[in-house]
Amino acid sequence: MMSLALRIILTRCGKKFWAAKIGRMQHLTTFTECTMPGDSKVDAAVISDALQTRSQSQITFQSDGFDPWRVQPIKHRLSDHPLLQMPQLLALADRLDVMGSIRTHSNDAAAGTPFNDATRLYPNTRSAAQTLAEINDAKAFLSLLNVQIDPLYREFVGTILDGVRPLLEPCDPGMCYRGGWIFVSSPHTVTPFHFDKEHNFLLQIRGKKRVYVWDANDTVVANELARDRFHHCHERKLLVWNEAFRERAQVFDLRPGEGAYMPSTSPHMVENGDQTSVTMSFTYYTDSTRRNALLHKAHAMLREMGFVPPPVGTSSFLDDGLLLLAQARRLWRRLARRGGESGTTAYAEDDR
């Protein structure tokens, strides 16, 4: 049945069916070209030097090493960084507000509030700068989105991720589409249950918060259909909160200098403590995250055609065929000299 579905897709690809359905998928299919402008590939000598100077990184891992698909605690040395102090954050909020790169809601949002609808259901009517200035009493959550679109913070994001990149490349190559997100929240504010597409270093800068994180492959908390829909059209409606999920989570009680690493599509939910909190996320895609996203998109398309594909990763025949198809699609676009995102994009430019 699935081999028939694959042949149907391959046939329709010749009629531009894939192009009409997926559109921007081509940027997920380059698995070896994700270098920074002016960078060379990370070779063994560079990796060796990085391991010998590990202390230079502002983010450090547990002694048992780094696994890109395992939720794990981390440490950092960014709490006193000048760009993460309130005067600089106020100035940044003004600049990002003009560009529409702000997300905010009141603290009436709860764990089960649909994440994509929180800003509409529980609006915060203050400006970004006013919310920050009054954050202790604002009863609000404020997210400064894609801070890397600001030149000052672009350099900051690049510097921090450059510091860990040589340590990540051997096990998870292809870092690209890098981004930064700064979350400032009033006491007792909740970030609703959701997941994201990027790998994420979540670093606590000020205050305390409790972070619940679920395994990236926990299909009880986030089933295969929910993951397919999320990657296909950024829909989170099928990711539904249940209080019983708390027992399945890894729980991090974060203080300044501490953090949590979340792999791509690890569901998470955050409860702020009794203090104002400032947290920053450094996010990025890799070869493996883009491969995973591409396959979930393709599986969502198969579902639209009436097929029920096996979970991603359980059928090498189907997965390999879909990846081959995507690579052919990308080559067709090159020959047609059409533009679009690619795996060489260093920084994320658009919000989620």
Q: Is the pLDDT of residue 162 over 90?
A: yes
Q: Is the pLDDT of residue 84 over 50?
A: yes
What pLDDT sits at residue 8?
A: 52
Output b/e per residue, 44-72; b: 16+ Cβ within 10 A.
Answer: eeeeeebeeeeeebbbbbeeeebebbbbb
pLDDT in tens, 99-157: 999 999 999 999 999 999 999 999 999 999 999 999 999 999 999 999 999 999 999 99
**Domain ranges within the chain, ordered by starting residue:** 59-287
What pLDDT sits at residue 348?
A: 80
Q: What mean pLDDT is reported for the chain?
A: 84
pLDDT in tens, 193-207: 999 999 999 999 999
Q: Helices 287-304 and 316-335, interaxial angle, to 10°?
A: 100
The stretch 294-318 carries a mean pLDDT of: 88
What pLDDT sits at residue 5?
A: 55
pLDDT band at 245 (very low <50, low <70, confident <90, very high): very high
Query: Which of 34-43, 176-185, 341-350: highest mean pLDDT?
Result: 176-185
This prediction's pTM = 0.81
Burial of 159 by CB count in 10 Å (0-12 exposed, 13-18 middle, 19+ buried)? exposed
Structure tokens at 314: 């359980």
DSSP one-letter string for 135-193: TTTS-EEEEE--GGGSHHHHHHHHHHHHHHHHHHTTTS---EEEEEEEEEE-TT-EEEE
Tell the CATH superfamily of the 59-287 domain: Cupin (2.60.120.650)
Percent pLDDT > 70 in the chain is 79
What pLDDT sits at residue 239?
A: 96
